[in-house]
Structure 1
C-alpha cells in the first residue's frame, strides 16, 4: 500500500510547473465571479501548492534519505543536492545546516516556495 501511495504521489509531482499569469490586469468589481483566465490562474496556484504539500508529506513520511525524496531534491537543484550549509532568502532564519533541514523547515512552516538564496561557503 505504501508503494502505491508513493507512486500516486510521484505521478502528481511529475506535473510540476508554474504558469505565470499576466500582471497588472484590471481588478474586477468585488463580488463578481472570476473570469476564465482568473479561474485558470487561481486553480493553477492551488495545483502547485497541493503538489508542494504532497512533496512535504513524502519527506515527512520517508525522510530525506529516501530515494524518491532525493530525486525530488535533485530535481529542485538541477541534478545535485547542495551539501550545505544552506542560506535562504528568509531574514529571520537565513542559515540551515543542510538542504534536508532547509526543506523540512519549509514543510513545517508551510513556506513551500521559499528558496535557497546562495550556498554558504564552509
Structure 2
C-alpha cells in the first residue's frame, strides 16, 4: 500500500490499525470488502480465514498481521470505516498507527534512552 515506504508509529493508546484513507481503501478493495450505507466496509465472516495478511515491513523485517486480527466481528465481520482510514478514530492520518491489533502480536520494548523500539513475535 505504500510504494517507497510510509511513516508509522507504534501506539499503546490506540486499539485499531489506522492508516492513510487512500491506502486503507486500497487494502479494503484488495480483500473485496463491500461498503455499507453507513460507510463501513464488511467482509463475510466465512472469508476471514482465507484473507491475506497485512505485512508491515520495518527496517527490512516483515511483521505480518493476519485477517483474524485486523477484521473485527461486529454484527458480521467489519473491515474499516471509509471516512476515517481506520476503524475507531475520527482523525484522518497521513501515516500508519500500529495500535493494539499489532501490539498483541509483537512483544514491544520502548527504548527511550536510545530512541528506538524493539519488536519480536509473541510466543
* TM-score, length-scaled by structure 1: 0.31
- Larger fraction in helix: 1
* TM-score, length-scaled by structure 2: 0.30
- Larger fraction in strand: 2
Rg (Cα) greater in structure: 1
